[in-house]
Structure formats: C-alpha cells, structure tokens
Amino acid sequence: MSKVTMKLDDLTCPSCMTKIEGALSKKDGVKNVKVLFNASKIKAEFDDATVTAENLADTVTDLGYTVKSSKVKAL
C-alpha cells in the first residue's frame, strides 16, 4: 500500500471535489480518497501493485485539472 498527496493548481469549487473523488474511488486498487478543497490537495491511499500514483494523476488530468506536484509515501 502507498499514499499519494497531489497539489492541484485549479481546484475552484466544491463540486470539483465530488467529481475528483468519484473518478479516483472507481479506480481498481484505490482504497481511500479525500479532496481537501481549501488546501487544493488530493490525498489517496492505493494498492501500488494494482495502480500507480502516475495513473491517479493522469485520471485527475483527464478530468481537466492540473496536478502541480505529487508526493508518494509507501506504507
């Protein structure tokens, strides 16, 4: 298991949180997702044997958001 924190550049409204959380939580291997609107961050816990942090960042990018930076931590 791993955790990733992604800093976003363009999180503008609370409905963005729902959109991102919904898309990431549907990915195989994702165990937990939390979007922190005020901090413009995403925190996700995932099975790195199933999905990578890069896959998660790509999903966020495909939704139209810019991932400014990401930091992965193995559990």
- Domains of the chain, by residue range, sit at 2-74
- The residues that bridge with 35 in the sheet, in sequence order, are 42
| Confidence class for position 9, pLDDT limits 50, 70, 90 | confident
Which helix or strand (DSSP H or E) is residue 71 part of?
strand 67-74
Check: CB of residue 41 under 8 Å from CB of residue 8: yes
Expressed in angstroms, the distance from the first to the final Cα of the chain is 5
Question: Higher confidence at residue 10 or residue 25?
Answer: 25
Percent of the chain with pLDDT over 70: 99
The yes or no reply on domain 2-74 and CATH 3.30.110.30 is no
Residue with tokens 């139209």: 64
For range 32-37, the mean pLDDT: 95
